[in-house]
Amino acid sequence: MTLEQLWQAALGEIELTLSKAHFHTWLKNTTIVAQENGVVLVSCPNGFTKEWLENKYNKLILHALRNVSEDTREVRYVIGKEAVLTPSPAARRRRELLVSPPMEEQLDFKELAVDPNTNLNPKYTFESFVVGSFNELAHAAAQAVLKNPGTTYNPLFVYGGVGLGKTHLLQATGNAVVSQHKSLAIKYVTADRLANEIVSSILGGSIDQLKNDYRRIDLLIVDDAQFLSGKEKVQEEVFHTFNVLYQKNKQIIFSSDRPPKAIPTLTERLRSRFEGGMVADISYPDFETRLAIVKAKAREKELALDAEAAAYIATHFQKNIRELEGALNRVASQVRVSRQSPTAAYVQKYLASIINEPRKNTSPKQVIKAVAEFYDLSERDLIERGRKKEIVHPRQIAMFLLREELKNSYPFIGMKLGGRDHTTVMHAYDKISKEFEENENLRREIHLIKERIYNV
Amino acid sequence: MRFTCLQENLQNALSVVERIAGRNAALPILSAVLISTHQNRLQFVATDLELGATTWCAGKLEGEGRLALPMRLITQFVSNFIPQTKLQLDFNPPHLTVTTENSKATFRGLDTKDFPIIPAFTPLHAVTVPVKTLLHGLGQVLPAVATHEARPEINGVLFAISKNELKLAATDTFRLAEKIITTQAPDDNVSRAARVIVPHRTLHEVVRIFSAGTEDIHIDVGEHQLCFHTPTAQLISRLIAGEYPNYAAIIPTKFQNNTVVASKAFAGLVRGAAIFATKLNDIHVGIETSKRAVRVSAVDPDKGDHTATAPAEISGEPLEASFNYRYLLDGIEAIPTDNLEFAATSASTPAVIKPRGDPSFIYVIMPIRRS
C-alpha cells in the first residue's frame, strides 16, 4: 500500500466522524510523507493545522491509521511545503489584463523574471524556439545535450550574430534540463557577470567560496563568452573551473558572437578547450524561417496579422530577430490603441519610421576605433608603420570599411591611416572585397564590426 | 467569573483582533473571538488560520473562565457605549452577561472546544526595533508590493535580518522599494542571518494593530512562521514559502543626471499632471538643465493637457522620460525629507528616487516606453 493509499483509507474513516466543515478545514492539503517503524509522518499545510491535529485529532487519526495499517504506533506532524499555486500562463495573462491597463508599454525589471537559483528566465523555452536551416545544427546539438548532459557534446560552443537567438537557445536548454533532470544543479551566467563576480570575490577575499560554488554545478552555461577577452585572471579561473567540471563529466555550454578562433586575446589553452567539444553556428535566417518566426510571435501576442503584412515584416528585418520582434511589438501596441486590423499597408505605415531610418552617421574616427577595439589593438597600431600580420589584416579591414561605409576617397583613407599611398588602400580594398565574397568567416567579422560602428 | 473594565479598554482590545477573525469561513467558530483568563489578565484571541492575533484588556478580574463569542456581535454591542462607561462581564459559559448601570445583555457563546489553537513555534531569529521605526519603514515599502497573486514570492515584503540591520524590500516588478532599519545588536544566539517573506496582508494588519504603540516591537522568526509582539498585543503569521528575487542588481548606481527638488513641489507636479494622464497613467518628466527646472506634463487627446515646472538643482544631462504617475507618486510620498533626489539615465532604464541626505531608503522605478 502506498503512502497515499494509506492516507486516503484513513481519511475515509476520519471523514465519517467529523463534520464536513471540520474535515475540510483541518484535513485538506495534508499528506503522509513517511512511514517507518510504526511512526507515520503527516505533513500539514500550516502551523494552525499542525497544532490542531496534534492536540485535537491525534487519537482519531492514530486510530484510523491503525485500522488500515496495524503496526502504526505513533503519528507525528510536520509543516510541509506549502503547495505553491502556480497559475497557468493563460490565467496569469488574464489576471494581468485585469490588474493593469495594457502593460506592454510599462517597462519592468527584467532581472526579476529570472529564477534566483539558476539565473534562468522561464520565458525561454524550446516550444517558442523556431528552428530553420540557419540554426538547426545548434538546435540539434542542444537537444543532444539535453538527452545526455555531460557526455555527448562537451563543451557545446554556440556562436552567431546579435539578436539571432543564442541566449534563447542556451536558456531553453537550461530550462529543459531543469524540468527533465530535477536533481541537477544548473547555473546560467553571462561572461560579463562571471568576470564581475570573480573580480569582486578576489577583492573581498571570498574567491575560494566562489570556486567551490561553481565546481558543484552540473550544468554551467556561460553566455557571451567573448567578454572574457582581455581578462587574464578571469580566464585563468574559468580555465580551472572548466577542467574540474569537465573531468567530472559535467556539461558546459558557451555562447559567443564569433568562433573561438576569432576571440582576441583568448589564451590558447582556453581556446583549445572551447573547440574541444562541439562548435555550432547560428547564421542568418532565410525568408521562410523569418516568416515562420513572425507568425509564431504574432500568435504569442494574439495579433491577427494577415499573410501580406507578415511577409512585409519578414522582408524588412533580415539580420536581427530581436529587431523583428521589436517591430511586431510596435505594431501590436499600435493595433490596441487604434483597434484596426493590421493590413500590410497599415504595418507599412507604422514601421516606416524604423525601416527607413536614415543610416546613422559615422566618422572615419569611429570606424578606426571600432576596428581597433574589435581586434583588441590600439588605434595607434593601425596608423603606425608595423607590418605584422596581426596588424596588417585589421588595417586592411579598416580601409575596406572606410571605403564601403563612408565612400571616402583612396588618398583620404591613406592619409587617415598614417599617410599611406592610395595604391596601398586600393590593393587592400580589392583584396578584402574579393575575400568578402568567398569567406563566410570574414563576412561575419565585418558584420560584427559594423554592428559596433553603428551601435555606439 | 467576573471582569469589570472601562468601555474604552474593551473597545481597544476588540479593535486589535476584530479584523483578524475570518468572515466567510465554513466554520462559524472562525468568525469568533476567544475570551479567556490568562495569567490574571483577560485575553482576546482571533484567527483566520493564516493570522492569529492576541491582545489583553486591563480591568478587574475575579476567577477564571473561557468562552467564544461571535466577533461582530460583541464589537457592535461594545461600540454603542461611551468610553467612560463601566462594563461588568459575567461568565457563565456558554453565556456572557454584560451589565452596566442601566442595561443588561446576555450573549449566547460558541463552543470553545472548536476554537483553533494559535501555533507556538521556536524562534530561530529575533530582532527588536522601535514600533514607530518599523511602521514608518513599512509605510514606505508597502505601496510597492505586488498585490496580485501571479507570483507568490513577491506577494509580500522581504525581511532580511542581519547583525545590526533589518532590511525591508518590496517590488511588483515595475518598481522596487528598499528600507534599511538599524537595529540594536541582537543576542549572540541569534547570529544567523535570516531572509523571510512576510505576506503583505499581515503587514497591513501590523500597521493597524500597532499604530498606537510607542514602545519597542519584537519580531520572532521561525521556520514557517513569524510573530510580531509588544507588551499589549501579538500577531502570528505564516511566511511565504519561496525565494525572494535577488534584487540588488536592479538598483542602478551610475546615472546620467541627478536632480534635487523639493519633495512636496514634485508631488504637486505629479498630482496635477495625473488628472490629464491617459488610461496608461502615463505622465512625462523632463529634466531641463538649461532652465534648472523639473517639468511634469501629461496629454490625453480627450481631456487636454497640462504642464508645470518646479525649480531644481540639476547636475548632468537633460532627460525626457515617461512614468506611471501612481508608481511615481508612491515613491515621492515615501520620502520623509523636504528635498529628494531623482536620478535617471535614459527613457528606458530604471530611475531612482531617494531622500536627500538619508541613505536608508531607495525607490527604483521603471519608465513607460514613450511612443
Mean pLDDT (chain B, rounded): 91
Is the confidence at residue B7, as pLDDT, over 90? Answer: yes
Task: Please state, in angstroms and rounded to a whole number, the distance separating the CA atoms of residues B149 and B169.
Answer: 17
Helix (H) or strand (E) holding A351: helix A344-355
Find the mean pLDDT for residues B208-224: 90
Angle between the N-to-C axes of helices A207-215 and A232-247, in degrees from 0 to 180, rounded to the nearest 10: 40
* pLDDT at res. B190: 54
Task: Please state, in angstroms and rounded to a whole number, the distance separating the CA atoms of residues A355 and B341.
Answer: 39
Q: Kindly list the distances between the CA atom of residue A388 and the CA atoms of A296, A381, A391, A417, in Å, as whole numbers in the listed order.
A: 49, 10, 5, 15
| 8 A C-beta contact, residue B238 and residue B251 | no
* pLDDT at res. A446: 86
First to last CA, chain A: 67
Is the confidence at residue B6, as pLDDT, over 50? Answer: yes
Q: Are A47 and B224 in contact (CB < 8 Å)?
A: yes
Query: Residue B58's pLDDT band (boundaries 50, 70, 90)?
Result: confident
Most confident of A25-29, A293-297, A353-357, B205-209: B205-209
* pLDDT at res. B191: 53
Helix (H) or strand (E) holding A328: helix A321-338
The alpha carbon of residue B19 is apart from the nearest alpha carbon of chain A, in Å, by: 18
CB-CB: which of B117, B118, B173 is closest to A112?
A: B173
How many CB atoms neighbour CB A363 within 10 A?
Answer: 11
CB-CB: which of B119, B171, B282 is closest to A109?
A: B171
Is the confidence at residue B248, as pLDDT, over 60? Answer: yes
Is the confidence at residue A385, as pLDDT, over 60? Answer: yes
Top-level class of domain B125-248: alpha beta
Domain range annotation of chain B: 2-114, 125-248, 251-365
* pLDDT at res. A274: 87
H-type alpha helices, chain B? 7-18, 71-78, 131-141, 200-210, 263-274, 325-333
Task: Please state, in angstroms and rounded to a whole number, the distance separating the CA atoms of residues B352 and B330.
Answer: 12
| 8 A C-beta contact, residue B203 and residue B223 | no
Task: Please state, in angstroms and rounded to a whole number, the distance separating the CA atoms of residues B300 and A405.
Answer: 43
B residues 343-362 lying closer than 8 A (beta carbon) to A: 348, 350
The alpha carbon of residue B44 is apart from the nearest alpha carbon of chain A, in Å, by: 17
Q: How many helices (H) and strands (E) does chain A have?
A: 21, 8
Task: Please state, in angstroms and rounded to a whole number, the distance separating the CA atoms of residues B326 and B141.
Answer: 14
Q: What is the CATH number assigned to the segment(s) B251-365? A: 3.10.150.10
| 8 A C-beta contact, residue A220 and residue A273 | no
Is the confidence at residue A183, as pLDDT, over 60? Answer: yes
C-alpha cell at B38: 490568562
Is the confidence at residue A2, as pLDDT, over 90? Answer: no
B154 Cβ under 8 Å from any chain A Cβ:
yes
| 8 A C-beta contact, residue B57 and residue B9 | yes
Residue with cell 569611429: A366
Query: Residue A58's pLDDT band (boundaries 50, 70, 90)?
Result: very high
Residue with cell 442595561: B103
Q: What is the CATH number assigned to the segment(s) B2-114? A: 3.10.150.10
Helix (H) or strand (E) holding A25: helix A20-27
Q: Please write the tens of the pLDDT for every residue from A104-152.
A: 478 888 777 777 778 888 888 898 888 888 888 999 999 999 888 888 8
Q: Are A47 and B150 in contact (CB < 8 Å)?
A: no
The alpha carbon of residue A89 is apart from the nearest alpha carbon of chain B, in Å, by: 9
Find the mean pLDDT for residues B106-120: 90
Q: Please write the tens of the pLDDT for every residue from A161-180.
A: 888 889 899 999 999 998 88
Structure pTM?
A: 0.71
* pLDDT at res. B40: 84
CB-based contacts of A409, cutoff 8 Å, min separation 6: A422
CB-CB: which of A87, A92, A107 is closest to B348?
A: A107
* pLDDT at res. B270: 96
* pLDDT at res. A356: 61
Query: Residue A292's pLDDT band (boundaries 50, 70, 90)?
Result: confident
Mean pLDDT (chain A, rounded): 84
B residues 69-88 lying closer than 8 A (beta carbon) to A: none
**Does A182 or B298 have the greater pLDDT score?**
B298
Q: Are A84 and B350 in contact (CB < 8 Å)?
A: no
Instruction: Write phi, then psi, for B55 (nearest 5 degrees).
Output: -150, 170
B residues 191-210 lying closer than 8 A (beta carbon) to A: none
A residues 351-410 lying closer than 8 A (beta carbon) to B: none
* pLDDT at res. A128: 83
* pLDDT at res. A204: 84
- Name which of B111, B238, B352 to mutate to probe chain A: the one with the most chain A Cβ atoms within 10 A of its Cβ: B238
Is the confidence at residue A301, as pLDDT, over 50? Answer: yes
A105 Cβ under 8 Å from any chain B Cβ:
yes
A99: which chain B residues are within 8 Å (Cβ-Cβ)? Answer: 147-148
How many CB atoms neighbour CB B339 within 10 A?
Answer: 17
A85: which chain B residues are within 8 Å (Cβ-Cβ)? Answer: 149, 152
How many CB atoms neighbour CB A182 within 10 A?
Answer: 7
| 8 A C-beta contact, residue A169 and residue A121 | no
A residues 107-126 lying closer than 8 A (beta carbon) to B: 107-109, 111-114, 116-117
Is the confidence at residue A84, as pLDDT, over 70? Answer: no
Query: Residue B120's pLDDT band (boundaries 50, 70, 90)?
Result: confident
B250 Cβ under 8 Å from any chain A Cβ:
yes
Task: Please state, in angstroms and rounded to a whole number, the distance separating the CA atoms of residues B93 and B66.
Answer: 7
E strands, A55-150, are 74-79
Q: Are B236 and A47 in contact (CB < 8 Å)?
A: yes
Task: Please state, in angstroms and rounded to a whole number, the distance separating the CA atoms of residues B46 and B24.
Answer: 14
B160 Cβ under 8 Å from any chain A Cβ:
no
CB-CB: which of A21, A85, A95 is closest to B27?
A: A21
CB-CB: which of A25, A46, A112 is closest to B27?
A: A25
| 8 A C-beta contact, residue B358 and residue B337 | yes
Q: How many helices (H) and strands (E) does chain B have?
A: 6, 25
Does the fold of domain B125-248 match that of domain B2-114? yes
List the beta bridge partners of residue A280.
A158
CB-CB: which of A21, A109, A113 is closest to B176?
A: A109
Q: Please write the tens of the pLDDT for every residue from A250-262.
A: 999 999 988 888 8
Is the confidence at residue A100, as pLDDT, over 50? Answer: no
**Does A209 or B336 have the greater pLDDT score?**
B336
* pLDDT at res. A360: 59
Residue with cell 587592400: A428
| 8 A C-beta contact, residue B119 and residue A47 | yes
Task: Please state, in angstroms and rounded to a whole number, the distance separating the CA atoms of residues B313 and B291.
Answer: 10
A22: which chain B residues are within 8 Å (Cβ-Cβ)? Answer: 27, 114
Burial letters A100-139, b for 16+ CB under 10 A, else e: eeebebbbebebbebbeebbbbeebebeebbbbebbebbb
CB-CB: which of A55, A106, A116 is closest to B246?
A: A116
Is the confidence at residue A98, as pLDDT, over 80? Answer: no
Is the confidence at residue A307, as pLDDT, over 50? Answer: yes
**Does A341 or A365 have the greater pLDDT score?**
A365
CB-based contacts of B283, cutoff 8 Å, min separation 6: B270, B273, B274, B276, B277, B296, B297, B298, B322, B323, B325, B328
Query: Residue B185's pLDDT band (boundaries 50, 70, 90)?
Result: low
Q: Please write the tens of the pLDDT for every residue from B310-330.
A: 999 999 999 999 999 999 999
The fraction of chain A above a pLDDT of 90, given in percent, is 15
H-type alpha helices, B44-174? 71-78, 131-141
Task: Please state, in angstroms and rounded to a whole number, the distance separating the CA atoms of residues B217 and B133.
Answer: 10
Is the confidence at residue A90, as pLDDT, over 60? Answer: no
Task: Please state, in angstroms and rounded to a whole number, the distance separating the CA atoms of residues A26 and A44.
Answer: 9
The fraction of chain A above a pLDDT of 70, given in percent, is 92
| 8 A C-beta contact, residue A6 and residue A19 | no
Task: Please state, in angstroms and rounded to a whole number, the distance separating the CA atoms of residues B67 and B94.
Answer: 6
**Does B305 or A452 have the greater pLDDT score?**
B305
The domains located in chain A, with CATH, are 3-79 (3.30.300.180), 121-282 (3.40.50.300), 287-355 (1.10.8), 364-454 (1.10.1750.10)
Q: Kindly list the distances between the CA atom of residue A43 and the CA atoms of A10, A75, A334, A360, B116, in Å, as whole numbers in the listed order.
A: 14, 11, 51, 64, 18
Is the confidence at residue A88, as pLDDT, over 70? Answer: no
Helix (H, G, I), strand (E, B) or coil at B364: strand
Task: Please state, in angstroms and rounded to a whole number, the distance separating the CA atoms of residues B338 and B354.
Answer: 11
Helix (H) or strand (E) holding A60: helix A58-68
B174 Cβ under 8 Å from any chain A Cβ:
yes
Query: Residue A96's pLDDT band (boundaries 50, 70, 90)?
Result: very low
C-alpha cell at B149: 497573486
Annotate A4-16 with DSSP letters as a single string: HHHHHHHHHHHHH
Q: Kindly list the distances between the CA atom of residue A318 and the CA atoms of A131, A315, A323, A325, B293, in Å, as whole numbers in the listed order.
A: 16, 7, 9, 12, 44
Find the mean pLDDT for residues B276-296: 92
